[in-house]
Amino acid sequence: MTKRLAVVGTATLGVTALIVLGTAGVASAHVEATATSTAADSYTTATFSVPHGCDGSPTTKIEFQVPESIIEVTPTVNPNWTITKATEPYTSPSSSADDESAEDAGERVTSVTYTAKTPLPADERDTFQLSFSLPDGKAGDRVEFPALQTCEKGSVEWNQEQKTGAAEPEHPAPSIVLTAAVPVAADGDPIEATPTATADASASTASPADPDLVGRFLGLGGLVLGAVALVVAVANTRRRSTTK
């Protein structure tokens, strides 16, 4: 009976481990983005990870769509891939107030494409980095970069919207979740947080120890010293009596 329970327990643990590992594998199989900074209106470098091919087929190209809230993107060179950028004319929202003409309008990067010099094997991964300024927004907003992964056979569109608190879709778009903006000074440097009013108040109201409390401690110390002296005196008296 004991042996049977041990076998059943071992089998249960094995199945549980397989489920956990399988789930972890699925969760990490997406094209994901991590950023050096997630603060709204800050400059960041995002790293996009491509962990596998298309159903066993090597990856030949990956195209990242740039959201309209981002104007300029600087891709990092990857020696195994060539880089191309697509752009479109861009006129700032304040152009009418600034009397900006069509000739003065700039260009906005709409997508960045990495094309493999040698196809990336389906069982290997690679990373791609894009640097840009995050848009203004509130904490919790998502900045998504829909991606198209093209392989020797087939392709995968990573373009499904992710919603905080909802179940993750099958092919979520790589995204960055904004955190609160960091205040900056006129020179562009971050403003360091100042000590809280509570801490200042505590420091300013600190005062010497209560005199009455100090007196009590001194009195107690005197009593202890007196008791010790009494014990020593009694001991010396007994020692003298014994000697006589």
Q: What proportions of the chain, in percent to the nearest 5, are helix, strand and coil?
A: 30, 30, 40
C-beta of residue 112 within 8 angstroms of C-beta of residue 130: yes
Which class in CATH covers the domain with range 28-177?
A: mainly beta
Query: Within a 10 A sphere around the Cβ of 158, how many other Cβ atoms?
Result: 24
Mean pLDDT of 160-173: 92
C-beta of residue 3 within 8 angstroms of C-beta of residue 12: no
Mean pLDDT of 163-186: 89
Regarding predicted confidence, which is higher, 235 or 116?
116
Domain spans, the chain = 28-177, 213-244
The pLDDT of residue 225: 61
Query: Within a 10 A sphere around the Cβ of 7, how many other Cβ atoms?
Result: 10
C-beta of residue 117 within 8 angstroms of C-beta of residue 25: no
C-beta of residue 61 within 8 angstroms of C-beta of residue 82: no
The pLDDT of residue 164: 81
State the average pLDDT for the chain.
Answer: 76
227: pLDDT strictly greater than 50: yes
